[in-house]
Amino acid sequence: MAPPSIRIRGIHTPLPGGGGGQSGGGVLGRWSPGLGDTEFIPWSDVAAKIAQTGQVATPSSVSPPPTLVAPAAGFTITPSGATFTFALANDLAALEAMSSTGLVARTASETYAQRTITGTASRIVVTNGSGVSGNPTLDIDSGYVGQASITTLGTIGTGTWAGTTVAVNHGGTGQTSYTDGQLLIGNTSGNTLTKATLTAGSNITITNGNGSITITASGGGGGGGSLGLFSQVMSSTPTASNTGLGTWLNQGSATSGDGTTGLYISQTATDNLASLYKASPGTPYTITALVALTATGGDGAHNPCVGIGWHDGTKLHFVRVISAAGTAGLFLTVAKMTDSNTFSANDYVVAKFQYTPIIWLRTNDDGTNVTFSFSQDGTNYLTLFTVAKASGFLGSSGYSNVCFTVGGANTSATNSIGTILSWTQS
């Protein structure tokens, strides 16, 4: 049996005496750091220094010698005689035990498993799901065609709708096909939209085209038929409702109504101008009217008239046809009135007008200028007077009300009646 030995400061020497006992023997070593010199230390002193399991002799003055201490978790130190065993424990041991490559998940205390990010076929495609070659990447699969339901939806900016027909209660029409001329009409039965075509009435022809509907008069009435004076350019019968002329200016004892041929004003013999008006539309716009005057001659100071134009609440600027007194005959004028009873001046006047008292009158406001015109055929017009609104009789903001005006003669035995036979706003 070899004699016992010990390593101190890197010097390994057999105990003197060659025996296995501890008495009388010793080793060369030094308890405190020095310059490398050695001295003989009795074995009994060494044994006293190494009195506890797990202690080792070190070149230090600390007594007793330090003990090897393992961390609280992940590492153990086990002494066995002259041997110390170091081992991994807990999570470190579990990680060390893994042999595959890829992502790691802690599934329980001190338990780990290999994991791989995977996609869903035809929906999500995953590149490098194990993370071995780099970061995993997720993207929409090129074969993705959608899903059965969508609960949250923003703006659809592209794509083609190929689903079922959208119902009326979801903002759709509930329809899938149409024929020429069909329109969608609200139907309270089932709260649906029903396809229907227009039905022609008396003297009306309806032509259903590819994306169009043409309505024409087939004879005997206005609106574009081939029969009757002015039928090609006549509007539907004017009324207070469809013209918008429903407010009075200086009504007095005048009356109005929707006649079979159009909207009329009947002015008494003792009143001057009475007007029906509405607020002017946005510029530019044009008013075209066929007017008729039914009256006897005036007295020179108060003459029956009918016309269209504008007023600012007090003053009037309008074009009219007048039946003057005596042999003066008809006048066509662009008149300015300080108020409904006070004449100011004419911007245009022609005496003994050689036409009928049924005449086409037209006014236009393009936002900068106002213009007065007339026609005998309803198609070709001559300008009577035009002026910049800023320098016009009513001023830049005064052409604010469109009016239909009828004047009476205070010496006439009967009323003056003015009628609008046709009225369009364009």
Which range of residues forms the domain containing residue 392? Answer: 240-425
Q: How many domains does the chain have?
A: 3
* Closest to 425 measured CA to CA, from 375, 365, 336: 365
Higher pLDDT, residue 253 or 18: 253
Given 169, 202, 232, which residue is the final one in a domain? 232
The per-residue DSSP string of 31-54 comes to: SS--SS--EEEEHHHHHHHS-STT
pLDDT category, 304, cuts 50, 70, 90? confident
Residue 254 lies in a domain: yes
What are residue 138's DSSP bridge partners? 126
Q: For 102-105, which contacts have Cβ atoms below 8 Å and span 24 or more sequence positions? A: 102/130, 102/131, 102/132, 103/130, 103/131, 103/136
| 230-244, 248-262, 322-336: least confident range | 322-336
CA dihedral 157, 162, 166, 172 (to 10 degrees): 50
Q: For 74-180, where are the E strands, in sequence order?
A: 75-80, 83-88, 103-108, 111-115, 124-127, 137-140
Neighbours of 62 (CB within 10 A): 9
| 33-37, 265-269, 301-305: least confident range | 33-37
- Residue 228, pLDDT > 70, answer no
Report the half-sphere exposure of 188 (CA within 13 A, side-chain side): 0
As a whole number, the mean pLDDT across the chain is: 81
* Closest to 412 measured CA to CA, from 298, 293, 292, 273: 298
224 and 262 both lie in a single domain: no
pLDDT category, 2, cuts 50, 70, 90? very low
224 and 246 both lie in a single domain: no
Q: Are 418 and 265 in contact (CB under 8 A)?
A: yes
Residue 153: per-residue pLDDT: 73
Residue 178 lies in a domain: no
Q: Rounded CA gap, 51 and 6, in Å?
A: 14
267 and 207 both lie in a single domain: no
pLDDT tens readout for residues 31-60: 444 555 555 556 566 555 554 555 555 554
214 and 68 both lie in a single domain: no
Looking at residues 200-225, what average pLDDT do you find? 70
Q: Are 209 and 226 in contact (CB under 8 A)?
A: no
228 and 244 both lie in a single domain: no
Q: What percent of the chain has pLDDT over 90?
A: 35
Residue 353 lies in a domain: yes
Q: Which two tokens stand for residue 100?
A: 């595959």
Q: Which two tokens stand for residue 115?
A: 């994991």
Residue 182 lies in a domain: no
405 and 282 both lie in a single domain: yes
SS3 assignment, position 195:
strand
Q: Which residues are CB-neighbours of 135 under 8 A, at least 6 positions away?
A: 128
SS3 assignment, position 173:
coil
pLDDT tens readout for residues 113-157: 889 999 888 889 999 988 888 999 999 988 888 777 777 778 888
Residue 380 lies in a domain: yes
376 and 400 both lie in a single domain: yes
Residue 387: per-residue pLDDT: 97
Higher pLDDT, residue 215 or 317: 317
Given 209, 232, 255, which residue is the final one in a domain? 232
